Amino acid sequence: MTETEVLLGDLVADAGRMLAAARIPEPRREALRLWADLVEASPAEAILGRRAPVSAELVGAFLSAVERRAGGEPLAYVSGRAGFRRLTLQVDRRVLIPRPETEGLVDLVLARGPRGTVADVCTGSGCIALSLADEGRYGRVVGVDVSGDALRVAADNARRLALPVAVARSDLTATLATASVDVLVANPPYIAAAEYAVLDTSVRDWEPSRALEGGADGLEATRRLLDDGRRVVIPGGWIALELDAARAEATALMAGAYGWQGIMIHPDLFGRERYLLAQRSEIP
């Protein structure tokens, strides 16, 4: 080893100390994750290769990533990757970071409406649409978003994963054709404006506000989806929405007022009332 060589184990240990000083939780684990994502390896491979020398170019790239994380940038944005169900997605600040809770919404859709055409509104990174294309038996899956930037991320993920997901730009369901989908699924913005103002800065300062804030009562997008969704979903088709647990009852009442039937509220993996599932009546 020459004087200028840096061993991987020492580099990761130094990174862990930098992250610890910045009060990042689990600094050692995050340092390993940042390295693994940088070189497209596993954390276990990094541990096994701790005696290997690291090039100056990789040292610089890794320390730059560590500095970003120490500055508070979310790990998924720094690494550019986020896991969701069976997929690894590319993400950046143009899209919301996929959450584990949202994976349960995919399970509900696969159980109730596993075929036909499905539209994932507010698709963001495409995590829901891509998982449905990966695990379901759909004839067509469309990811819909009002943000052109988000659609570019979703389309890039679809190409990289070789999954048949089309993308379409629309303000919620506005440009979707009447009776065009068997299942309408969405993780819409559902945080009330006052709640968003005091949201943890690790989220508010980094993730796109339009994917989080849902108007004065947090129900603006949900209300529109339940209303116009009856036009878009075929008779007998389904709507599946992720919710704020505190607004689950109000959302269920709203769904009934708009004429949806068989309304069910389902818990997420933490036991919180997180998802609404309802069926379009057979009568137009």
18-43 residue pLDDT tens: 999 999 999 999 999 999 999 888 88
- Strand segments (E) across the chain: 6-7, 53-54, 81-84, 87-90, 115-121, 137-145, 165-169, 181-186, 233-242, 261-267, 273-279
Give pLDDT, residue 44.
Answer: 84
CB under 8 Å to 147, separation ≥6 — which residues? 94, 208, 210
Give the integer Cα–Cα distance in Å for 267 and 239: 16
Give pLDDT, residue 1.
Answer: 38
Structure tokens at 125: 């990174």
Of the candidates 177, 89, 169, the one whose C-alpha atom is nearest the C-alpha of residue 127 is 89
Give pLDDT, residue 283.
Answer: 67
CB under 8 Å to 223, separation ≥6 — which residues? 254
Structure tokens at 9: 């184990």
Those residues of the chain that have pLDDT short of 70 are 1-4, 283-284
Please state the pTM of the whole predicted model: 0.92
Domains, the chain, with CATH or none: 6-72 (1.10.8), 85-279 (3.40.50.150)
122-152 residue pLDDT tens: 999 999 999 999 999 999 999 999 999 999 9
Give the integer Cα–Cα distance in Å for 101 and 133: 19
